[in-house]
């Protein structure tokens, strides 16, 4: 998984670093399975698997722009998404940490670039209504539910066993069978 303990997954490290500037005691991803080096190997060992070895796999994600970076946080999945989803109407505290360059359109639509030192950042407050509007636009008529990993895995097994395309279809079938839909 992600070695968050030593600064692993940059997107989450940056997200929680920004959140902690405004909400210092927030836990974030720290206690999730697989977020510290060796955790998955140790868990597999406890489950009885033998000859399990750990190692590092470096992955990279490139983003087409801020929307591409931000969209996964809007799904209310995992601690980061759940944190955003839990915010009341008002403003979500955000911090942008610059990567050395800002691109922007000039008055004629041409691409402009300005160099910015890596040490620069800016704090701002994004209206929660904008975040909710974005979710409504990209995922109309949906809601998000946080499930324990073992519950989600059981639901996925049931979905496969029933030959259903989505978890939503599986839940709907289960509710219909229970007579409480």
pTM tops 0.75, yes or no: no
Domain residue spans of the chain = 4-146, 147-181
Return the pLDDT at 174.
94
The one-character DSSP state at 87 is P
User: Which of 2-11, 49-58, 95-104 is least confident?
Assistant: 2-11
Distance CA 149, CA 90 (A): 31
């Amino acid at each position: 998984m992600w070695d968050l303990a030593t600064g692993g997954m940059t997107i989450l490290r940056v997200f929680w670093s920004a959140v902690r500037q405004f909400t210092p005691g927030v836990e974030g991803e720290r206690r999730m399975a697989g977020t510290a080096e060796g955790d998955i190997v140790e868990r597999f060992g406890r489950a009885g698997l033998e000859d399990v070895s750990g190692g590092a796999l470096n992955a990279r994600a490139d983003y087409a722009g801020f929307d591409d970076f931000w969209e996964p946080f809007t799904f209310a999945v995992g601690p980061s998404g759940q944190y955003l989803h839990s915010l009341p109407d008002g403003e979500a505290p955000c911090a942008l940490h610059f990567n050395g360059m800002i691109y922007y359109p000039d008055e004629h639509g041409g691409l402009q670039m300005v160099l910015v030192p890596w040490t620069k950042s800016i704090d701002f407050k994004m209206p929660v209504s904008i975040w909710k509007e974005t979710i409504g636009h990209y995922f109309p008529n949906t809601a998000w539910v946080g499930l324990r990993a073992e519950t989600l895995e059981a639901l996925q097994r049931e979905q496969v066993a029933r030959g259903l395309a989505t978890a939503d279809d599986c839940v709907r079938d289960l509710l219909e069978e229970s007579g409480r839909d």
